[in-house]
Structure 1
Amino acid sequence: MVNLKNKNVEISLHFLIWLVLFFLPAAFSVGSDADWKDLFRHFWLQLIFLAVVFYANYLYLVKYVYDDKKIWFFVANLTLILSLIFFKNQISEWLEPRRHNPGGRRPPTGLFYFIDTLIYMIPVAFSIAINAGKKIQKAEEMKIEADNIKLQSELQHLKYQLQPHFFFNSLNNIYSLIDFAPEKAKQSIHSLSKLMRHLLYKTDVEKINLSEEIEFLNKYIELMSLRLTDNTKVFINFPKAIPEMKIAPLLFISIVENAFKHGISATQHSDIHFKMEIADHEINFTASNSNFPKTDTDKSGSGIGVENLKKRLNLLYPEKHEFHSHLNNGMYIAEIKIITD
């Protein structure tokens, strides 16, 4: 559809240019003694043959240049141009025969052919330049398309990488409940099935509603909270009124997972805070948690979540996002700012 539209624009542009070129001689001859026959012989006939040279090259002969058949291109153009010059002279002679002037001196015929050949080389040069420009534009479009395909493939890879990581962390959480809280383990499996349904049916799109993403986060936080003791407090501050905004799925889950992974201690008091603020087209999400770094022997999770998030943000929101993480008074704080379209 786009190609057809571009083709129609191109045809219309060519038609308009030639219409102007054919109209100008008539416009300039208004008020003079020139008649239509003179206009045709002196201007329009030349324009017709210039158009023939241009479109012969534009549509066909210029292919020889790109197929490395430059000699054939030169021979074909020279033959075409000389033939047209000959026919133009014959038609001009037929329209207005030259008077015999024995005493007068006429320029040599070769000079007329040389000058006309130079004139006919102009549309040849134009046809080459236009085709070269189209080839460059097509190459740029193909490069952009290839980059987009690469981008989509990389995003898809990151998404597929994230989902097993999420599933693995959730299973670890459920596994820890089986022995001492089997009922909570059952409830966790039920909650996990709802979350996996979201992963299967809601994330295979470019963007989802922000309200759906917040609902997913709430369900995940609820699932993770089932295993917590009274030593850990979770505070959630999400907006009650959520505007109609679209956002890429699964952008915040990694730092939420990270907060539960590194913010819980079996013996010490710990706090986990999640906060989201929305202003115009800007989303600010903050996760802060007590910092209990995992040891090298702790294999819960693969550690790819935050790195995955950074890559996805760079691909999805180039120059429209910020991600910061730091320690402050024993609290690990991760902040994401996203500017949506």
Structure 2
Amino acid sequence: MVNLKNKNVEISLHFLIWLVLFFLPAAFSFGSDADWKDLFRRFWIQLIFLAVVFYANYIYFTKHLFENKKVWFFLVNLLLILSLIFLKNQITDWLEPRRYNPNGRRPPAAVFYFMDTLIYMIPVAFSIAINAGKKIQKAEEMKIEADNIKLQSELQHLKYQLQPHFFFNSLNNIYSLIDFDQEKAKHSIHSLSKLMRHLLYKTDVERISISEEVEFLNKYIELMSLRLTDNTKVYTNFPKTIPDMKIAPLLFISIVENAFKHGISATQHSDIYFKMEIIENEIHFTASNSNFPKTDTDKSGSGIGVENLKKRLTLLYPEKHEFHSHLNNGMYIAEVKLDTK
């Protein structure tokens, strides 16, 4: 449908250009003694043949030039141009025969053929330039399409990588509950089933509403909080009224997972804070937690989720995001800013 529309625009543009070119001689001759026969002989027949040369090259000949048939391209154009010059001279002589002038001197016919050939090379050059521009544009469009396919494949890979990682962390959490609190373990499995339903049906799209993302985060925080002791306090500060905006799914879950992995100690008091602010089109999400770094042998702190987040932000929101993480007074703080425009 788009190609048909572009083709119609192209045809209309060509028609208007040639209409103007044919109209200009009549406009400049207005008020003079020139009649339609003179206009045809002096201007229009030349324009008609120029159009023949242009469209012969634009539609057919130039393709052979791009196929590296340069000799064929040169010879067929030379033959066409010389034939049209000869035909134009015959028509001109038929419309107005030349008067014999015994005292006048006429340049050799080769000079006229040479000058006319130079004129007819102008539409040839135009047709080459236009087709070359189209070829470059098409190559650029194909490159963009290939880049988009690569981008979607990479994003899909990152999403598939994130979901097993999330599921693995959740199962670890439930496993730790089984031995000392079976009721909480059952409740955790039920909560996990709701989260997995969200992963199955809500994340297979490019964008979801912020309210759905916040609901998912709340459910996950609730699930992870079931195994916590009184030593750990979790605080959330999410907007009560959420605007109708859409973002890529599962953008903040990696930061939340990271806070629970590194912010809990079996013997020391710890705090975990989650905060989201929405100001016009900008989302500011912050996770801060007491810092208890994992040891090298603890693979649960491998950092897959955060690296995944960084890659997804770069692909989904180029030049429209910020990600910062730092330590401040024993608290690890991770911040994401998104421009959703």
Residues 241-261 of structure 1, C-alpha deviation per residue, up to 9 Å, x if partnerless? Answer: 000011011000001000001
Structure 1 residue 249 corresponds to structure 2 residue 249: yes
Aligned equivalent of 1:85:
85
Deviation of 1:104 after TM superposition, in Å, equals 2.6
Give the corresponding residue for 2:338. Answer: 338
Shift of 1:182: 1.0
RMSD: 0.9
* Matched-pair identity in %: 87
The answer to whether 1:123 aligns with 2:127 is no
Amino acid at match of 1:160: Y
Query: Post-superposition shift, 1:102?
Result: 3.1
CA distance in 2, matches of 1:112, 1:332: 85
Q: What's the CA shift for 1:303?
A: 2.3
Per-residue deviation at 1:100? 2.4
CA positional deviation for 1:262? 0.6
Partner of 1:171: 171
Cross-structure match for 2:310: 310
Name the counterpart of 1:212.
212
Aligned-partner residue type, residue 276 of structure 1: M
Contact (CA 8 Å) 2:58, 2:127: kept in 1 or not?
yes
Q: 1:301, 1:216 → 2: CA distance?
A: 22
Task: Measure how far apart 1:147 and its partner are.
Answer: 1.0
- Render the CA deviation track for 1:172-224: whole Å, top value 9, x for unaligned: 00000111111111111111111111111111111110000000000000000
Q: Any conservation in 1 of the 2:210–2:246 contact (CA below 8 Å)?
A: yes
1:69 maps to 69
1:300 to partner: Cα distance: 2.5
Matched with 1:56 is 56
Q: Give the C-alpha shift of residue 269 in structure 1.
A: 0.9
What residue in structure 2 maps to residue 149 of structure 1?
149
Query: Alignment partner of 1:334: what SS?
Result: strand
Q: CA deviation at 1:302?
A: 4.1
2:7 corresponds in structure 1 to 7
* Residue equivalent to 1:99: 99
CA contact (8 A) 1:165 1:301 kept: no
Partner of 1:227: 227
Q: Secondary structure in 2 aligned to 1:300?
A: helix
Structure 2 distance, partners of 1:65, 1:302, is 57
Which residue identity lines up with residue 3 of structure 2 in the other structure?
N
State the SS of the aligned residue for 2:91.
Answer: helix
Figure out how many residues of one structure are paired with residues of the other and give that number.
341
Structure 1 match to 2:161: 161
Task: Indicate the residue corresponding to 1:287 in structure 2.
Answer: 287
The alignment status of 1:38 with 2:69, answered yes or no, reads no
Please, which runs of 5 or more residues in structure 2 have no aligned partner?
Answer: none
Partners of 1:210 and 1:147 lie apart in 2 by 28
Q: How does 1:24-35 map to 2 (within 5 A)?
A: 24-35=24-35
Cα deviation for residue 143 of structure 1 reads: 1.0
Contact 1:165 1:302 in 2 (8 A): no
CA distance in 2, matches of 1:223, 1:302: 21
Structure 2 CA distance for aligned equivalents of residues 115 and 10 of structure 1: 31
* More displaced stretch, 46-55 vs 147-156: 147-156
Native 8 Å contact 2:294 2:301 kept in 1: no
Determine if contact 1:172/1:300 at 8 Å carries over to the other structure. Answer: no
**Paired residues of 2:262 and 2:301 also in contact (CA < 8 A):** no
Does 1:113 pair with 2:113?
Answer: yes
CA contact (8 A) 2:64 2:73 kept: yes
What SS is found at the alignment partner of 2:34?
coil
The normalised TM-score by structure 1 is: 0.98
The reply on whether 1:137 has 2:137 as its aligned counterpart is: yes
Aligned equivalents of 1:127 and 1:139: distance in 2?
18
- The yes-or-no answer on 1:296 pairing with 2:296 is yes
How many Å apart are 1:2 and its aligned residue?
A: 1.6
- Secondary structure of the residue aligned to 2:227 is coil
Contact between 2:274 and 2:287, CA under 8 Å: does it hold in 1? yes
Deviation at 1:149, TM superposition (A): 1.0
Give the equivalent residue in structure 1 for 2:202.
202
Q: Distance in 1 between matches of 2:106 and 2:62?
A: 36
CA apart distance, 1:301: 5.4
